[in-house]
């Protein structure tokens, strides 16, 4: 029998090297797909436009830090949906304004200390005499993020209650 015709088993180093290459290529492909999906899902067309020239009575902030994860994008998206579905007139008039800010940017770093934040959050702010006044951090958004109905109810109920003293 000719030795060229026999199949030699791969040595362990070759197997490990091949598996590592497959893992790295697969990981890079997965990250690329995640990045494309993330960019597509956070299109500005879904965002709530601010009403120019109007000082709001209330601001709903989505305050983020760094790169957005899928859960964080859900928090932002579900909050916007709650606002659109329950406060459409107030948004259209400018009474309520939706704003986002990345606290990693120097001009937005103050939000972390202003609102005692340690992570991304939704913060309700009452505007008093043109300045940000009393506020409420909706910390339970993280508890409800996997239940869209409970999440939107939490946000809309919290905002209604927050607005009560002004009425």
Q: Are residues 58 and 27 in the same domain?
A: no
Q: Are residues 66 and 98 in the same domain?
A: yes
Tokens of 94: 């400018």
pLDDT at residue 2 above 80? no
Q: Are residues 20 and 84 in the same domain?
A: no
d(CA 139, CA 133): 19
Tens digits of residue pLDDT in 16-60: 888 888 888 888 877 777 665 544 444 334 566 667 777 889 999
Tokens of 27: 């990981």
In a domain, 2, yes or no: no
Q: What is the pLDDT of residue 3?
A: 56
In total, how many domains does the chain have? 2
In a domain, 122, yes or no: yes
Q: What is the pLDDT of residue 61?
A: 93
Residue for token digits 């991304």? 120
Q: What is the DSSP string of 76-105?
A: HHHHHHHHHHH-HHHHHHTSEEEEEEETTS
Domain holding 149, by residue range, is: 51-166
Q: What is the pLDDT of residue 45?
A: 44
In a domain, 3, yes or no: no
**Comparison of pLDDT for 50 and 92, the residue scoring more:** 92
d(CA 29, CA 54): 46
Tens digits of residue pLDDT in 112-154: 888 988 888 999 999 988 888 899 999 999 999 899 999 999 9
In a domain, 158, yes or no: yes
Confidence class for position 1, pLDDT limits 50, 70, 90? low
Question: 49-54, long-range: CB within 8 Å, 24+ apart, which pairs?
Answer: 50/94, 50/97, 50/98, 50/99, 51/91, 51/92, 51/93, 51/94, 51/97, 54/93, 54/94, 54/97
């Amino acid at each position: 029998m000719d030795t060229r015709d026999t199949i030699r088993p791969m040595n362990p180093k070759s197997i490990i090297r091949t598996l590592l290459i497959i893992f790295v290529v697969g990981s890079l492909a997965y990250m690329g797909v995640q990045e494309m999906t993330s960019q597509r899902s956070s299109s500005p067309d879904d965002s709530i436009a601010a009403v120019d020239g109007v000082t709001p009575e209330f601001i709903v902030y989505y305050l983020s830090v760094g790169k957005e994860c899928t859960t964080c994008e859900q928090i932002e998206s579900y909050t916007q949906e709650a606002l659109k579905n329950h406060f459409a007139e107030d948004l259209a008039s400018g009474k309520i304004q939706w704003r986002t800010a990345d606290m990693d940017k120097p001009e937005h770093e103050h939000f972390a200390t202003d609102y005692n934040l340690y992570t991304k959050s939704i913060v309700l702010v009452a505007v008093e005499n043109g300045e940000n006044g009393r506020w409420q951090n909706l910390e339970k958004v993280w508890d409800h993020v996997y239940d869209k109905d409970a999440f939107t109810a939490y946000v809309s109920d919290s905002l209604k209650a927050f607005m009560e003293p002004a009425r």
